[in-house]
Amino acid sequence: MTCDEAEILLHALIDGELDAGHAREVEAHIAGCPRCAAELAAFREMSKAIAEAGVHYTAPPGLRRRIEASLPQATPAPSRRAVLRGFAMGSAVSAIAATGLVAIVLRNDDAQRIESEVVSAHLRSLQAGHLTDVISTDQHTVKPWFNGKLDVAPPVVDLTAQGFTLIGGRLDYVDARAIGAIVYRRRAHIINLFVAQTANTQHQAARTETIQGFNIRRWSDRGLNYWAVSDLAVDELVDFGEKYEAAMKTGTAG
């Protein structure tokens, strides 16, 4: 490799843009060329100095308000919601960070705490490869998969015809114990339906809540507690819950 080539490529090396083979070639040249080695060191030093000085600008609050105001208003989204949704759609690292955030805002109330944990579990599930332990659109595959893994048999309902595609099941941990999660998809939105046993066999009507930008529909029926969690709009999540409950009543659960 010539110095002319190295002079360009050392920048790609600094920026981590070279594949392993070419990185080795540039490094080999630099090892034998003090001039290019000095160049590399100087540019690294400069990049570091810039990063440490912090030369970003922060958008003025007025600008953010004007942009917000120019958009059609739905339910005004709190900014934290936007941040968290960004996390949920981003990398695994971000999802972990978001889980950390959720942990910080835990409230003491027991039901609230569990709902926060359910949201955390939902966020964890959005990390690559964690969404489903068993992948199937067939309720008769997903339901038996839970056998022996839980002390309850989560009712798995096929709601494809109603617009909610069953995509699988997963074992998760909420409130320090194993819990079943049935995973549905609505367009590109994931719904985690968490199912856990409860001593109370009375039917409890559904209520919805929003925690950290995620909507939760919670209800109890026949000794089971349900939490449906998603970034879907509230009305769609309510629709999901109602269709699920309706399917349970007509006994189509697998």
Which residue in 115, 103, 109 sits closest to 174, CA to CA? Answer: 115
Chosen residue from 53, 161, 199, 205 binding another protein by CB under 8 A: 53
Question: CA separation (Å) from 104 to 116, 121, 132, 155, 229?
Answer: 10, 15, 26, 32, 19
What's the angle, vertex CA 137, arms to CA 247 and CA 228, rounded to 5?
Answer: 50
Residue type, 243: K
Classify burial at 182, counting beta carbons within 10 Å of its beta carbon; exposed 0-12, middle 13-18, buried 19 or more: buried
- Nearest distance from residue 130's CB to another protein, in Å? 13
Chosen residue from 24, 28, 31, 68 binding another protein by CB under 8 A: 68
Question: CA separation (Å) from 231 to 47, 128, 162, 195?
Answer: 38, 17, 18, 18
- Nearest distance from residue 185's CB to another protein, in Å? 10
Which of these segments, 13-21, 117-125, 174-182, 203-211, binds another protein (CB under 8 A)? 13-21
Count other C-beta atoms under 10 Å from residue 33's C-beta.
16
Nearer to another protein, 189 or 243 (CB): 189
Nearer to another protein, 48 or 149 (CB): 48
The reply to whether 135 sits near another protein by the rule CB under 8 A is no
The reply to whether 50 sits near another protein by the rule CB under 8 A is yes
Chosen residue from 2, 58, 147, 250 binding another protein by CB under 8 A: 58
Helix axes 20-31, 34-53, angle to 10 degrees: 120
Q: Which residues bind another protein (CB under 8 A)?
A: 5, 7-9, 11-12, 15, 17-19, 22, 34-35, 37-39, 41-43, 45-47, 49-50, 52-60, 62-64, 66-68, 70-75, 77, 79, 81-83, 85-86, 89, 91, 187-189, 233
